[in-house]
């Protein structure tokens, strides 16, 4: 159980929380939701004591797993030891035991070693390595990595190790901030199963709607400067929250209509002989005053890619015997396929299988080692890179407004401001320097650039990585509505379900082009794995 009592947090002139009292109960799995900037990560840091609150206190169980974000802090530790460090009490006594065995034995040291062995037994320390290795394998970290130093394994695998560190040691509570980042579909499915079997208190922040729906028993929604809990998963919360707000607004409208009628009576008979009836109406007006509805902080960008100025030919891209690698290891091997006008394609595959490499080849950023890619007639590509710095200079003083205007030869000021407004850059936010923008803001700005330039082929590499749930939903609608061709690499199943009609899957044995939805592809893959 985690208890917040009268928690307030202000950042500058902005209030994130005001006297919040809330209990996260044992056995419940809470999705902590709210738009970017609402304070989700700040709240987790307050709970863990990593950031101070203005008022209030936090009560925690003894053992809490927390997903850390700084892989550089563990670069010189082995993968297995990094995982075991998730149980602080066990790790500390193991370190102390190793130190004591290096000094001359005395009665006091012998007594202390006995106490240490009791702690190790209490914390299941004798099976710690086996437990750590089982978790690592479940998360897709192969056995040959387990003894290596963290800096010796790929960066995305290092982030997975930190996730396993949070899960290790049977913590009484788990706090996970965007745990599906750096995970592929198989790893996300494994994590979902692990968390569904978890019996402590879980608080998770995620932009993956499918993940929240699969895992959560409750949603703790940050809105109206407080936390409001809803039973059920994310979709259930949206239905309830929308209904509650609509009901309150309808009640206010009904009150305002009645008040208007009463005021007409008062105005008509106020100076006449019906004084008692007038006073009764005045009291009724006072009683019926509509309640003040706080403004919700939910905001959704309006993502619509306009009808392209030029229509591409029927064949948009054609790849023939395509291969690309780094050093001696080919990532894309002998791939041949065609992409046609109007195709909506999701590119999926485990990390390291070449999704980004493939998209850079299709976008013309990379050239193939072998084979060729032919761009179809009048095909114009709009590219969203996974690394936003590839198109945005994060060291520049250029404003969001200026960057957007630079995307096209002729862009009228009102058109640029209109797109920025749709992408939630209202008022002075349009003139923020690019270098100060958050990950979510840069993602929305790049999408705004694609809305301005109107390409007929969209190639998007993990566009959802920094977007909140509302923005991911808006992107899915925008892609579904798009009249051109879209090729999107993503692990977000909700986004894939929202737009994709075809799948390019990068598997261990190469590239597979599937005509159909993600569900159909996964079902086909599952059937192929069944023993004869």
Looking at the domain assignment, is residue 415 inside a domain? yes
Q: Are 480 and 473 in contact (CB under 8 A)?
A: no
8 A C-beta contact, residue 282 and residue 458: no
Q: Please state the domain count of the chain.
A: 3
Residue-wise pLDDT for 355-410, tens only, equals 999 999 999 999 999 999 999 999 999 999 998 888 888 777 899 999 999 998 88
Cα 294 to Cα 389: distance, rounded to the nearest angstrom = 37
Residue 423 lies in a domain: yes
pLDDT tens-digit readout, 478-514: 999 999 999 999 988 889 998 999 999 998 888 889 8
Report how far residue 499's alpha carbon sits from residue 481's, in angstroms, rounded to the nearest whole number. 8
Final residue belonging to a domain, choices 116, 150, 170 = 170
Query: Please, which contacts does 500-505 make with residues 24 or more away whose CB atoms are closer than 8 Å?
Result: 500/344, 500/345, 500/346, 501/343, 501/344, 501/345, 502/343, 502/344, 502/345, 502/346, 503/345, 503/346, 503/347, 503/348, 504/337, 504/345, 504/346, 504/347, 504/348, 504/358, 505/347, 505/348, 505/349
357-366 pLDDT, tens digit per residue, is 999 999 999 9
Tokens representing 376?
A: 């179809």
Phi and psi at 325, nearest 5°, equal -145, 180
Q: What does the block give as tokens for 198?
A: 């978890």
Residue 51 in any domain: the answer is no
d(CA 227, CA 21): 8
What mean pLDDT comes out for the span 176-180? 89
Highest mean pLDDT among 33-47, 174-188, 293-307, 455-469: 455-469
Q: Please tell me the distance from the alpha carbon of residue 144 to that of residue 133, in angstroms, as a whole number.
A: 11
Q: Taking all residues of the chain, what is their mean pLDDT, rounded to a whole number? A: 86
The CA distance from 138 to 133, in Å, is 9
Residues 508 and 364 in one domain: yes
| Domain span at 151 | 76-170
For residue 293, pLDDT beyond 60? no
- Residue 532 clears pLDDT 50, i.e. is over it: no
pLDDT confidence of residue 502: 93
| Mean pLDDT of the 277-300 span | 65
What does the pLDDT look like over 14-45, one tens digit per residue?
A: 788 888 888 999 999 999 988 777 788 888 88
Mean pLDDT of 236-244: 76
Of residues 288 and 138, the one with the higher pLDDT is: 138
Kindly report the CATH number assigned to the domain that includes residue 344: 3.40.50.300
φ, ψ for residue 387, nearest 5 deg: -90, 105
Same domain, 384 and 281: no
Are 276 and 331 within one domain? no
Please report whether residue 200 resides in a domain.
Answer: no
Given a cut of 70, is residue 192 above it in pLDDT?
Answer: yes
Say if residue 113 is in the same domain as residue 166: yes
* pLDDT tops 60 at residue 290: no
Residue 128 in any domain: the answer is: yes
Final residue of a domain: which of 170, 191, 222?
170
355 plus 413 within the same structural domain: yes
Question: For residue range 419-469, what is the model confidence (pLDDT) as tens digits?
Answer: 999 998 988 889 999 888 888 889 999 999 999 999 999 999 999 888 888
Which residue spans within 103-193 are E strands per DSSP? 173-177
Of the CA atoms within 13 Å of residue 163, those in its CB half-sphere come to 29
What three-state secondary structure class fits 223? strand
- Give domain status of residue 334, yes or no: yes
Does one domain contain both 121 and 84?
A: yes
Residue 124 pLDDT class (50, 70, 90 cuts): confident
Contact 466, 444 (CB under 8 A): no
Please tell me whether residue 329 adopts helix, strand or coil conformation.
Answer: strand
Question: CB within 8 A of 347, min separation 6: which ones?
Answer: 355, 358, 359, 487, 488, 489, 490, 503, 504, 505, 506
């Amino acid at each position: 159980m985690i208890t917040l009592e009268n928690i307030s947090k202000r950042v500058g002139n902005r209030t994130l929380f005001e006297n919040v009292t809330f209990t996260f109960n044992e056995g419940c799995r809470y999705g902590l939701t709210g738009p970017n900037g609402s304070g989700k990560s700040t709240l987790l840091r307050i709970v863990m004591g990593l950031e101070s609150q203005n008022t209030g206190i936090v009560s925690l169980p003894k053992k809490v797993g927390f997903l850390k974000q700084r892989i550089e802090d563990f670069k010189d530790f082995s993968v297995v030891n990094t995982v075991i460090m998730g149980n602080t009490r066990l790790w500390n006594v193991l370190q102390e035991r190793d130190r004591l065995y290096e000094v001359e034995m005395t009665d006091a040291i012998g007594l202390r070693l006995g106490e240490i062995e009791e702690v190790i037994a209490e914390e299941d320390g004798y099976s710690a390595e086996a437990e750590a290795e089982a978790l690592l394998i479940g998360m897709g970290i192969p056995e040959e990595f387990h003894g290596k130093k963290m800096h010796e394994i790929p960066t995305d695998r290092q982030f997975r190790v930190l996730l396993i560190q949070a899960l290790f040691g049977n913590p009484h509570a788990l706090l996970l901030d965007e745990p599906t980042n750096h995970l592929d579909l198989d790893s996300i499915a494994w994590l979902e199963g692990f968390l569904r079997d978890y019996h402590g208190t879980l608080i998770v922040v995620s932009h993956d709607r499918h993940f929240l729906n699969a895992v959560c028993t409750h949603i703790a929604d940050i809105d109206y400067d407080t936390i409001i809990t809803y039973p059920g998963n994310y979709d259930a919360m949206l239905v309830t929250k929308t209904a509650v707000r609509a009901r309150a607004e309808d009640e206010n409208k009904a009150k305002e209509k009645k008040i208007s009628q009463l005021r007409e009576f008062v105005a008509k008979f106020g100076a006449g002989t019906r004084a008692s009836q007038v006073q009764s109406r005045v009291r009724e007006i006072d009683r019926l005053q509509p309640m003040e509805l706080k403004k919700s902080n939910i905001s959704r960008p309006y993502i619509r890619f306009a009808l392209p100025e030029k229509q591409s030919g029927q064949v948009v891209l054609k790849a023939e015997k395509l291969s690309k690698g780094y050093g001696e290891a080919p990532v894309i091997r002998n791939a041949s396929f065609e992409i046609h006008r109007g195709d909506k394609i999701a590119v999926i595959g485990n990390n390291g299988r070449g999704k980004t490499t493939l998209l850079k080849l299709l976008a013309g950023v990379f050239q193939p080692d072998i084979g060729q890619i032919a761009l179809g007639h009048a095909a114009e590509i709009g590219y969203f890179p996974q690394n936003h710095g590839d198109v945005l200079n994060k060291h520049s003083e250029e404003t969001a407004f200026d960057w957007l205007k630079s995307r096209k030869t002729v862009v009228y000021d009102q058109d640029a401001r209109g797109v920025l407004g749709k992408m939630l850059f209202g008022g002075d936010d349009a003139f923020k320097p690019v270098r100060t923008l958050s990950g979510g803001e840069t993602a929305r700005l790049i999408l705004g650039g694609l809305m301005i330039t109107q390409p007929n082929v969209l190639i998007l590499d993990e566009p959802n990585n920094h977007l909140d749930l509302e923005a991911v939903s808006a992107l899915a609608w925008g892609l579904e509505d798009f009249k051109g061709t879209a090729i999107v690499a993503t692990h977000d199943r909700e986004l894939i379900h929202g737009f994709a009609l075809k799948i390019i899957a990068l598997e261990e044995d190469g590239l597979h082009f599937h005509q159909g939805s993600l569900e159909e592809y996964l079902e086909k893959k599952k059937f192929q794995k069944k023993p004869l």
